[in-house]
């Protein structure tokens, strides 16, 4: 998939800040350039985490950021590891964890991100649903009929 224009914000700001993002099913985690996280809530990781697939295999994440990213017209909560600015060609890389959390998938024929379960995505992105539980699957805490 090609990089696309996205917006990120720290809190209830209306528009957010534009960034260039990429959905990556080959990455387990979400990554953000350190320069894009200057105004975001950040926390230090207990130990540096080496990231093998970017920055020529020499990039290391030392902090995380919490922010919102606008996807399909909805603001979604996101946790990302911060990487040095020269490690990636894009500002934000949304990994498989983010896609799974919001029930999104990449439609390669249309070159687009689509919700697997649209109602689940709407509820999740609005903040009324906090756990991923695919429709039709029996999760923990549910009774058999």
pLDDT digits (tens, 9 = 90+) for 4-47: 778 888 776 667 888 999 998 888 899 999 988 888 889 999 99
Bridge-based pairing of strands 4-9 and 17-23 is: antiparallel
Residues 119, 136: Cα–Cα separation, whole Å: 13
Q: What are phi and psi of 42, to 5 degrees?
A: -125, 150
Name the DSSP letter for residue 25.
Answer: T
Q: What is the pTM of this model?
A: 0.78
Per DSSP, helices labelled H in the chain are 96-101, 118-125
């Amino acid at each position: 998939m090609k990089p696309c224009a996205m917006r990120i914000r720290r809190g209830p700001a209306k528009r957010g800040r534009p960034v260039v993002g990429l959905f990556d099913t080959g990455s387990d985690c979400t990554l953000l350039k350190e320069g894009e996280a200057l105004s975001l809530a950040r926390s230090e990781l207990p130990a540096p985490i080496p990231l093998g697939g970017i920055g020529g295999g020499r990039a290391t994440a030392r902090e995380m950021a919490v922010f919102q990213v606008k996807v399909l017209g909805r603001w979604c909560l996101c946790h990302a590891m911060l990487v040095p600015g020269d490690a990636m060609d894009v500002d934000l890389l949304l990994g498989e964890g983010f896609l799974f959390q919001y029930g999104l998938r990449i439609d390669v024929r249309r070159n687009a991100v689509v919700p697997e379960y649209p109602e689940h995505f709407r509820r999740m992105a609005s903040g009324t649903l906090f756990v991923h539980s695919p429709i039709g699957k029996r999760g923990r805490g549910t009774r058999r009929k």
